[in-house]
Amino acid sequence: MNHFANVKKIVVKVGTSTLTYETGKTNLRRMAKLVSVLCDLQNSGVDVTLVTSGAIGVGVGKLGLSEKPKDTPGRQAAATVGQCELMFMYDKFFSEYGHKIGQLLITKADIENEERRRNLENTFEKLFHFGAIPIVNENDSVAVEEIVYGDNDSLSAIVAKLIHADALVILTDIDGLFSANPKEDESAQLIPVVRKIDDEILSLCGAAGSKRGTGGMITKVRAAQTATEAGIATVIMNGSAPQDMYKLFDGRQCGTLFLPQKND
């Protein structure tokens, strides 16, 4: 069964480790490839929303810092610098294909407050109407611990629910969810389909994300849980080959597909 056959609205989430090199500088080749695929999907009639990380990572690179600041104001300041750079690059790449983008910086409080949530929904709606592509990140410069989602995996699932997306694709630096840690266990197998996210599946997630990213596998699978419970098919796949997203639309296996739990 092709779970992407009728997808008309998709949220794609890309993480810092996919967008940047170890040096902290932007991986331009990757970004250009990703944007061309997103533009092509948009051209084919799918409403695309991109949830992007990388503000802090790119800010760290641009400011010439040796590592992510340990203090919150330091990370927030880096995010303000990196966010500009990110949007500048996205605007440049999306414009090459004739597409317009709009920036939405969201905090948890914006989603939890009914009026602000409605405003957001209206803005998304209008952007789709205008044929512009929403680019979302957490509003890192104002978000302190108590009010953040903290990782964009959760944010991507919340956004997918908010805009009633049909599918969520989380791009990361690994091919999907494995039966064991593939870095430590050679017999680890990619799990192509997850029908239900239960304790056994959660136990496969391990800890730790990469040095530049935030979440790791657990936040991705939890995001898949939030989305699939809302009837949204979710895929975790490798962001190093964004063109593999076409496989999903062709009904071919790619990454780990988490089946929707209900269909609205």
Please say whether the beta carbons of 105 and 87 come within 8 A.
Answer: no
Our finding on whether 151 is near ligand GLU (CB under 6 A) is: yes
Please say whether the beta carbons of 50 and 86 come within 8 A.
Answer: no
* Candidates 90-98, 163-171, 207-215, 240-248; binding stretch for ligand GLU (CB under 6 A): 207-215
Our finding on whether 172 is near ligand GLU (CB under 6 A) is: no
Out of 48, 56, 81, 136, the only residue in the binding site for ligand GLU (CB under 6 A) is 56
Nearer to ligand GLU (CB atom), residue 161 or residue 220:
220
- Interface with ligand GLU in residues 79-138 (CB under 6 A): 79, 137-138
- Residue 253 CA to residue 250 CA, distance in Å, equals 9
Q: How many residues does the chain have?
A: 264
Nearer to ligand GLU (CB atom), residue 6 or residue 66:
66
CA-based nearest residue to 76, from 55, 103, 90 = 55
Our finding on whether 213 is near ligand GLU (CB under 6 A) is: yes
* Candidates 18-26, 37-45, 123-131, 213-221; binding stretch for ligand GLU (CB under 6 A): 213-221
Nearest approach, Cβ of residue 81 and ligand GLU (Å): 11
Our finding on whether 39 is near ligand GLU (CB under 6 A) is: no
Our finding on whether 244 is near ligand GLU (CB under 6 A) is: no
| Radius of gyration from C-alpha coordinates of the chain | 17
Roughly how many angstroms between the first and final C-alpha of the chain, as a whole number?
Answer: 18
- Residue 2 CA to residue 18 CA, distance in Å, equals 26
* Candidates 48-56, 166-174, 237-245, 246-254; binding stretch for ligand GLU (CB under 6 A): 48-56
Out of 26, 107, 214, 256, the only residue in the binding site for ligand GLU (CB under 6 A) is 214
Angle of CA points 6, 105, 161, to nearest 5°: 30
Instruction: Determine how β-strand 233-238 pairs with β-strand 256-258.
Output: antiparallel
Q: Which tokens hold the place of 147?
A: 């009010």
